[in-house]
Amino acid sequence: MTILNKNFETPYNSAPFSEIKNSDFLPAFKTAIDNAKSEIDAITNNVQAPTFENTIEALDYSGEELDRISSIFFNLNSAETDDEIQKIAQEVSPLLSEFSNDITLNEDLFKRVKTVYDSKSSLDLTTEQATLLDKKYKSFSRNGANLSEVKKVRLRAIDKDLSQLKLKFGEHVLAETNKFEMHLTDESDLSGLPEGAKEAAKQLAESKGKEGWLITLDYPSYIPFMTYADNRTLRERLSKAFGSKGFKNDDLDNQDIVLKIANLRFERAQLLGYKTHAHFVLEERMAETPDKVNTFLNELLEKAKPAARKEFKNLEAFAKDLDDIDQLQKWDSAYYSEKLKQKLFSLDDEQLKPYFKLENVINGAFTVAEKLFGLRFEEIHTIDKYHEDVLTYKVVDADDNLVSIFYADFFPRAGKRNGAWMTSFKPQMIKNVINERPHVSIVCNFTKPTKSKPSLLTFNEVTTLFHEFGHALHGMLANTIYPSLSGTNVYWDFVELPSQILENWCYEEETLKLFATHYDTGDVIPMELIEKIKASATFQEGMQTLRQLSFGLLDMAWHGVDPSNINRVKSHEIAAFGETNLYPDVAENCMSTAFAHIFQGGYSSGYYSYKWAEVLDADAFEYFKEEGIFNKTVANKFKAYVLSQGGTENPMTLYKKFRGQAPKPEALLRRAGLIK
């Protein structure tokens, strides 16, 4: 069996994971690239005059087989990788980069695209078609089509290097995460740790043939230890291990890679006529320019900083009173914050977790989707999965029409990177009058069930699941003609709106009563706990905002400047964090060397978008609150103008169609408790 086909003979045309061998990938990629090149040649060599249909539309539908293989392979490289897959990724990435450049630097193809683009005023195009034409033209002009031959050669070399460097960066971070283990044999070292976390640590040790307990850098292990463990020395050790990934001057060091990526991105932007990488990226974002991003971040910083400093002083005083701590360090942050939260609100995650059994939370997300958008989720066992932990669902509408296939992968393992994300195995598009429905997946890293307890989530994990599920709904409800405009193919600072708005439902009594039931007794979560969740929602919001802003400012410090004079990653980072620092610096640690969002993922010059989207989601949810959080009219408008439209129109236009007005930042500041 090979995967040289976009149309698998499987239920719902789903990926046949069990039949795919690693050795299938490289030949499959090579064949698919050859086939895609043939499709491009057919467009380029068409003797008929260029039209929207035979050039722009044909271009968007080309490479379908290659896209399908790429989505399967690179999703496995994130969620179920091994040394062989990583080696293939290093071989394949330059081939894909070269193929991409073969398209954007193809002069004859660009001439056809430009001919259609130059005649657009005389064409009777729909809004979606006009957007596609604009996007296709820019994909050439922004990627070197107008460059001289010498500069095109250099651009190809840069793109090839960047594709390999980004992969290497991610491999180093994953290897560092997997390499570290804190093996504890004295139970007193686990003092303060909840029973569930202790049991999970013991189970992990047993799985590796060890006595005692194992703590790792995977979030379900790392976060509880940093939050609850009384042993400050061990918290320090774990924190430094987490914060020093890629920063040890060894084989897994990422400092040189960070500098190379930043400089190559800058050179690429300059080559294309842009001042910096950020200027290049932001031209295709709602924010538009680095100046606007920096103004946005600094205005929020001005509002959040007084609150953050006050919260930090309160935390310092609390730690001093409780344990005579003279200087709060980063490894004290989660620990004392949790203790202070318990004191102020009589609330801690251990009280809440019994009400958030994973299966119940999943069903809660499904129920919210049904009440808002009329979707039903049916677990199915007829399609392949890439790991036994993966759950598979058929999603249908009220009339039983197929909406999507949905994969959910919730637990950490050695071949899976940390964090949480949404992805796709098959895009939505309308082709030959057939509405191809998408195959969507969410991937998280939650605590696995133990011998005595099911998987119980922290409240933060509940909001994470809803967040990724919001992205998934954006993918599932896509209803566009062209694949490149479908689902989450939107401006990067708009893509977080569907995910972040869904988190709001987690704080509402009406929602929690749908699914928050005690895993043992079946009792619905008490009203007093719901009130405490709501009351604690803005706890340390100033500090949290400062932390998010610091990441955005660091991103802009790497990508909104000429990096050629940056010699030391750490020194540059310290300068970028200058206005947002609350804790003393830790010499052994460096964030940039493990900042996968901007050096491996697609968030370079885009990390600000989390905060940008918070402005949108707070404003949008106020609309739901005004009319009722399950109001069908508002939900239908959100589905019609946001979730189904993908990137077919300017996102601000779509937002105004939904909301009736531009978003106002006051909604976010009110929600955060930063203004009354």
CATH number of the domain to which 87 belongs:
1.20.1050.40
Average pLDDT over residues 588-611: 94
What's the one-letter identity of residue 380? I
Q: Measured in whole angstroms, how far is the alpha carbon of residue 623 from the centre of its chain?
A: 25
Find the mean pLDDT for residues 381-394: 97
For residues 141 and 62, membership in a common domain is answered with yes
First to last CA, the chain: 63
CB-hemisphere CA count at 13 Å for 574? 10
163 assigned to some structural domain? no
Q: Read off the tokens for 333.
A: 């942050």
Closest CA to 105 of 69, 157, 166, 53: 157
Regarding whether 385 and 466 lie in a shared domain, the answer is yes
Helix (H, G, I), strand (E, B) or coil at 581: coil
Burial class (CB in 10 A: 0-12, 13-18, 19+), 57: buried
| Residues 409, 444 contacting (CB under 8 angstroms) | yes
| Same domain, residue pair 64 and 213 | no
The average pLDDT across 538-565 equals 96
| CB distance 545 to 397 below 8 Å | no
For residue 662, is it within any domain?
no
CB 68, CB 439: distance < 8 Å: no
Query: How far is the C-alpha of 401 from the C-alpha of 398, rounded, in Å?
Result: 7
Strands 402-409 and 391-396: antiparallel
Same domain, 547 and 518: no
CA 189 distance to own-chain centroid: 34
Strand, coil or helix: 390: coil
Looking at the domain assignment, is residue 488 inside a domain? Answer: yes
Of 304, 365, 329, 251, residue with least CA distance to 583: 329
Of 319, 351, 333, 643, which Cα lies nearest the Cα of 498?
A: 643
Residue 171 belongs to some domain of the structure: no
Which residue, among 507, 463, 496, 450, has the nearest Cα to 629 in the 3D structure? 507
Band (pLDDT 50/70/90 cuts) for residue 347 is confident
d(CA 372, CA 470): 12
Q: Is residue 663 part of a domain?
A: no
Whether 506 and 556 share a structural domain: no
Based on the structure, what is the number of domains in the chain? Answer: 4
Is residue 403 a contact partner of residue 394, using CB atoms and an 8 Å limit?
no
Strand 213-215 to 182-184 pairing: antiparallel
Place of tokens 């290093």: 90
Average pLDDT over residues 550-577: 97
Closest CA to 604 of 593, 613, 612, 595: 595
Enter the pTM of the model.
0.86
307/334 same-domain check: yes
Under the banding of pLDDT at 50, 70 and 90, the label for residue 6 is low
Residue 633 burial class via C-beta count within 10 angstroms: exposed 0-12, middle 13-18, buried 19 and up:
exposed
Residues 421 and 548 in one domain: no
505 and 563, same domain (yes or no): no
What are φ and ψ of residue 482, in 5° steps? -105, 135
| 152 pLDDT tier (thresholds 50, 70, 90) | very high
Angle of helix 83-104 versus helix 22-44 axis, rounded to 10: 0
Q: What angle do CA 259, 260, 265 make, to 5 degrees?
A: 100
Q: What is the pLDDT of residues 243-270, one digit of tens each?
A: 999 999 999 999 999 999 999 999 999 9
Tell me if 458 is assigned to some domain: yes
- Same domain for 278 and 426? no
pLDDT at 348: 82
In whole angstroms, give the CA distance from residue 570 to residue 244.
11
Six-digit token string for 161: 């290097």
In the prediction, which pLDDT does 1 show?
Answer: 38
Tokens 């293939």 identify what position?
88
Q: Could you give the residue numbers annotated as active site? A: 468
Same-domain status, 454 and 558: no
- Domain region containing 410: 354-522
Tell me if 534 is assigned to some domain: no
C-beta of residue 485 within 8 angstroms of C-beta of residue 131 = yes
pLDDT, residue 608, reads: 95
Distance of alpha carbon 333 from alpha carbon 347, whole angstroms: 17
- Encode burial over 520-555: b for 16+ CB neighbours within 10 A, e otherwise: eeeeebeeebbebbeebeebbbbbbbbebbbbbbbb
Per-chain mean pLDDT for the chain: 95
Q: Give yes or no: residues 387 and 296 share one domain.
A: no
**Residue 528: is its pLDDT beyond 50?**
yes
CB contact at 8 A, 450 and 200 = yes
Q: Is 448 in the same domain as 596?
A: no
Confidence of residue 405 (pLDDT cuts 50, 70, 90): very high
- List Cα–Cα distances, 558 to 92, 254, 551, 604, 644, in angstroms: 27, 15, 11, 9, 34
In DSSP notation, 47-90 reads: -SPP-IIIIIIHHHHTTHHHHHHHHHHHHHHHHS--HHHHHHHH
- pLDDT tens readout for residues 450-481: 889 999 999 999 999 999 999 999 999 999 99
Q: Is residue 669 part of a domain?
A: no
